[in-house]
Structure 1
Amino acid sequence: MRLLPNACVFFKTDDVPRTEQLPFPEEGSEDTALMKTLGWVTAGLGAVALGLFVGRELRQRYKFNHRTPYDAYSHAGDEKDVDFGLGT
C-alpha cells in the first residue's frame, strides 16, 4: 500500500528515460574548475570575515570585563574640558 499514490502529480516522471544521462558538465571543463575556485575563495573569505568578527567581539568583551577603577578617570586631567548638560 502506497501512502501517497498521487505524489507525482506535479512532476512528470515519463519525460526523461531512466537510462539517459543527465546534462551535467564534464569533469575537465574550464567552467567547472572556475566555479570550484570561486567557491573555495568565497568560502575562505567568509571564514576570514567570520573569524575577524568573532575575534573582535571576544576582544571587546575581554577588555570590558578587565577594566580597572582608573579607567573611569582616564580623561580627568585633559586640558580641553567638555561640559555637557549645564544649560549654558
Structure 2
Amino acid sequence: MTNSENERDAEAPRAAWCDQESLHVRLADGREIVTPLWWYPRLLAASQAERNTIELMYSGIHWPDLDEDLSIKGMLRGAKAPGATPPKEAAA
C-alpha cells in the first residue's frame, strides 16, 4: 500500500452527524472534524432530519435528501461552500 492509499484510508469517514450549529465527522484514524453549518448553506437551511440523513462515502459524505456532497479533503482544507456567509455578516 502506498502512502497516499494509507492517508486516504485514514481519512475515510466512519461517522457523521449534525447538531444545531456544527457538522461533526469522525475519521477512520480517530480524528474528528467539526465545522460550522454556515459553511454549507444547504445544510444550514435543511431540517434536522434532512441534515442527519447521511451516507458515508469512501472520501466524503452525501446527503441524499439535499443532493449535497462534501469531500473530507475539502473539509480538512477548511473549504467553505461558495456564498457561505458568517452569521454576523448575514445579519448586517
Larger strand proportion, structure 1 or 2?
A: 2
TM beyond 0.5 = no
Larger Rg: 1
How would you bin the TM-score normalised by the shorter chain?
under 0.3
TM-score (norm 2): 0.19
TM-score, normalising length from structure 1? 0.19
